[in-house]
Amino acid sequence: RALNALSAGNRTIVHEVEENALLDAMCRVVVEKGGYACAAVSYAIADKDKGVVVKASAGNDHGYFASLTNVTWADDDAGQGSTISAVIRTSQRCVVRDIESEPRLQLWREALLRRGWRSKASFPLIVERQCIGALTLFTSNANAFDEAELALLDELADDLSFGISVIRDRERKNEIERIAEHAATHDLVADLPNLGWFLRHLGEQIQKARSAGEPLAVLFVHLPRLHELFEALGYEAGNQTIRVLAERLSLAHQMLHTVARVGFDDFAVALPHSDFDTASTVAKEFVGSLQIPLVTASSKIDMQVAFGISFFPGHGDSPDVLLRRAGIAARDAARKGLSFATYQGASDRESPARLEMAADLREAMEQRRLFLEYQPKLDLATKRVEAVEALLRWRRSDGTIVPPVQFVPIAEHTGLIRQLTEQVLEMAIRQQRQWLEAGNRLPIAVNLSARNLYDPRLLGRFEGLLTTWGVPAELIEFEVTESALMEEPAVAKALIASLRAKGCRIYIDDFGTGYSSLNYLVGLPFHALKIDRSFVIQMKHSPQARAVVESVISMAHALELRVIAEGVEDQQELDELRQMNCDEAQGYFIARPMDAAAVVAFAHKGRTA
């Protein structure tokens, strides 16, 4: 009978995908195919009362299992006589070959005999090296369970344990994926969809509008006083207010809209089938709904709101342009004290000033006035600086330094980014030549923009520079943002694969802010994820952000990727990250970006310290 139960049990394990269903099916198989009088699975409850619950049973037990309400696996009287608790305590099987004559069974003997049960055996269920409960079988003959039978039943219990751990593993993986997907598409603090999500969503809406020949409006909501509000009321109340606002906005005009948080004090919503009239009605209604003051825990808030509106197809046909123009309109409205404004053609942001900056940048590149600073990446296990990131700076002729956030986007817009990246690569590779000669080994990571990934010349230029300067490819690494990867995944994939094949490590930058699909990450030879600074900042205030960082780390480890946290600004953050098993960290607390000589000295100090 044990053999029958074992082989039928194996089939059951393969077929069940849910834990309770598996336990039920297993008990049934043992009774129906194995011919045991009764079978049950009990789990230990891991709390201070050390209770035991019967999770599944089969066979006619005449209410026996229901009557077992106060069994414990504690080492006391109630726990002593039970085979189940003995199994849980010791992780060893426990067999009573003759119920009638077993002295330890006094509490239960009569109840068992009344049901015609004469022998019983309990087997440990070991999941992740821990005994989680027992499988118990009853027979109606005494002196059952000889060694041969027990050996087979041990195997049956092992199989069941394995089945349970497979199911739990799968559930945990699904959960991690779910959390990571959510983190990648949401602003965690306000729990609203984020910029990445919105751009993708807007893209889909534009497609629909285009094929239906309908207009579409983008409503941009700017809250100029949100900073003040956070300062005055604190995080909790601030976030609460954001959620209330988002709720009102999504209900405005009797429609359910999805509001995304696209910046700290900026929100956006896409209004399908909306022309100028509909969009301004929604805006007015919403302004109206704000006249009812927002009441949070302790105070009434007077929120200023400025709306900006842009239209497809009138103001553009790409998500990026429509959102940007709606944003420009909102800020115009705020400046003029209006509650809403429609985009009015090119205003200062798409202005001559930017074109002028592009011209200056071109000149700066020719005159080689761009230079690199290097920021160390600290390996948390070895406590050494194993690599650095190159960050670009522009020294104007008057000596002022322009940060990359001011000119990299312009380079991206105007197409200058190709030459810019080539210049950065050249600077990094020349630097490596100098370091090689001085006996220093410190890989440099270079940031790539989206456009670089789709530049067919990049790989050849890179190879040429390596050859010219005699630098091994392993000394150059690349950082690529998720959103850049997702623009044209197939093309990006090809370049990443070639760079990786040369021996360059690839980091996914700003992880969590884009809209990557995890499936995509699995297929590419990345070395590490860089958790975006915004998560590190939020960890202190938001347990949810901590949980996300933690699960991103374990997900990455499951995919055999390393994890590096960026923007670490104090000891507490560093300690927490270390506890979470983060592999590397970067941030002002460790070191600011610095020049080549300083970064070598810094790395050296770490090595000898």
Comparison of 314 and 404: residue with beta carbon closer to ligand C2E: 404
CB of 391 to ligand C2E, least distance (A): 4
Residue 448: strand pairing partners = 480
Spatial CA neighbour of 224 closest among 335, 323, 329? 335
Beta strand residue intervals within 518-592, DSSP E: 528-531, 562-565, 584-585
CB of 77 to ligand C2E, least distance (A): 59
CB of 577 to ligand C2E, least distance (A): 12
DSSP state of 154: H
Spatial CA neighbour of 340 closest among 272, 407, 271? 271
Q: Residue 405 binds which entry of Ca ion, ligand C2E, none, with Cβ cut-offs from 5 to 8 Å by kind? A: ligand C2E
Comparison of 293 and 409: residue with beta carbon closer to ligand C2E: 409
Comparison of 133 and 512: residue with beta carbon closer to ligand C2E: 512
Comparison of 149 and 422: residue with beta carbon closer to ligand C2E: 422
Q: Residue 583 binds which entry of ligand C2E, Ca ion, none, with Cβ cut-offs from 5 to 8 Å by kind? A: none
Pairwise CA distance, residues 548 & 186, whole Å: 11
Residue 373: strand pairing partners = 391
Comparison of 122 and 586: residue with beta carbon closer to ligand C2E: 586
CB of 408 to Ca ion, least distance (A): 11
Burial level of 238, CB count in 10 A (0-12/13-18/19+)? buried
Comparison of 221 and 574: residue with beta carbon closer to ligand C2E: 574
Pairwise CA distance, residues 492 & 483, whole Å: 11
Comparison of 84 and 599: residue with beta carbon closer to ligand C2E: 599
Alpha helices in 76-145 (DSSP H): 77-80, 83-90, 109-114
Q: Using alpha carbons only, how large is the chain's radius of gyration in Å?
A: 32
Q: Residue 422 binds which entry of ligand C2E, Ca ion, none, with Cβ cut-offs from 5 to 8 Å by kind? A: none
CB of 431 to ligand C2E, least distance (A): 13
CB under 8 Å to 468, separation ≥6 — which residues?
429
CB of 481 to ligand C2E, least distance (A): 7
Q: Residue 293 binds which entry of Ca ion, ligand C2E, none, with Cβ cut-offs from 5 to 8 Å by kind? A: none
Q: Residue 391 binds which entry of ligand C2E, Ca ion, none, with Cβ cut-offs from 5 to 8 Å by kind? A: ligand C2E
Q: Residue 193 binds which entry of ligand C2E, Ca ion, none, with Cβ cut-offs from 5 to 8 Å by kind? A: none
Identify residues 447-506 at the interface with Ca ion (CB under 5 A).
447, 479
Determine the interface stretch with Ca ion among 206-214, 276-284, 495-503, 508-516 (rule: CB under 5 A): 508-516
CB of 508 to Ca ion, least distance (A): 10
CB under 8 Å to 71, separation ≥6 — which residues?
42, 51, 52, 78, 79, 82, 84, 85
One character per residue 69-108, x = contact with Ca ion (rule: CB under 5 A) = ----------------------------------------
Spatial CA neighbour of 310 closest among 202, 455, 445, 212? 202
Distance of CA 559 to the CA centre of its chain: 13
Comparison of 75 and 487: residue with beta carbon closer to Ca ion: 487
Pairwise CA distance, residues 292 & 55, whole Å: 52
Q: Residue 576 binds which entry of Ca ion, ligand C2E, none, with Cβ cut-offs from 5 to 8 Å by kind? A: none
Comparison of 61 and 566: residue with beta carbon closer to ligand C2E: 566
Q: Residue 274 binds which entry of ligand C2E, Ca ion, none, with Cβ cut-offs from 5 to 8 Å by kind? A: none
Binders of Ca ion: how many residues, by CB under 5 A?
5
Comparison of 8 and 429: residue with beta carbon closer to ligand C2E: 429
What does the CA dihedral 323, 329, 335, 341 come to, rounded to 10 degrees?
A: -130
Comparison of 149 and 482: residue with beta carbon closer to ligand C2E: 482
CB of 532 to Ca ion, least distance (A): 6
The only residue of 149, 477, 509, 550 in contact with Ca ion, by rule CB under 5 A: 509
Comparison of 276 and 588: residue with beta carbon closer to ligand C2E: 588
Spatial CA neighbour of 226 closest among 278, 301, 131? 301
CB of 549 to ligand C2E, least distance (A): 15
Comparison of 8 and 444: residue with beta carbon closer to Ca ion: 444
Alpha helices in 213-267 (DSSP H): 226-251
Q: Residue 573 binds which entry of ligand C2E, Ca ion, none, with Cβ cut-offs from 5 to 8 Å by kind? A: none
Comparison of 447 and 538: residue with beta carbon closer to Ca ion: 447
Q: Are strands 300-301 and 294-295 parallel, antiparallel or unpaired?
A: antiparallel
Q: Residue 587 binds which entry of Ca ion, ligand C2E, none, with Cβ cut-offs from 5 to 8 Å by kind? A: ligand C2E
CB of 451 to ligand C2E, least distance (A): 9
Q: Residue 32 binds which entry of Ca ion, ligand C2E, none, with Cβ cut-offs from 5 to 8 Å by kind? A: none
CB of 427 to ligand C2E, least distance (A): 9
- Which single residue brings its beta carbon nearest to Ca ion? 479
CB of 536 to Ca ion, least distance (A): 11
Backbone angles phi, psi at 35, to 5 degrees: 80, 20
Identify residues 549-568 at the interface with Ca ion (CB under 5 A).
566
Backbone angles phi, psi at 48, to 5 degrees: -75, -25
Pairwise CA distance, residues 514 & 532, whole Å: 10
DSSP state of 368: T
Identify residues 262-301 at the interface with Ca ion (CB under 5 A).
none
Q: How far is CA 573 from CA 59, 221, 544, 568, 591, in A?
A: 55, 33, 15, 6, 14
Binding site for ligand C2E (CB under 6 A): 375, 390-392, 403-405, 408, 421, 424, 447, 449, 479, 509-510, 566-569, 586-588, 593
Residue 246: how many CA atoms within 13 Å on its side-chain side? 22
CB of 561 to ligand C2E, least distance (A): 18
Pairwise CA distance, residues 367 & 553, whole Å: 43
Q: Percentage helix, strand, coil, to 5, in the chain?
A: 50, 20, 25
> Two tokens at 26?
């297993």
> Two tokens at 42?
């009990």
Q: 428-443: b or e for each residue (b if 16 or more CB lie within 10 Å)?
A: bbebbeebbeeeeebb
Q: Residue 424 binds which entry of ligand C2E, Ca ion, none, with Cβ cut-offs from 5 to 8 Å by kind? A: ligand C2E
CB of 565 to Ca ion, least distance (A): 10
**Binding residues for Ca ion, per CB under 5 A?**
447, 479, 509-510, 566
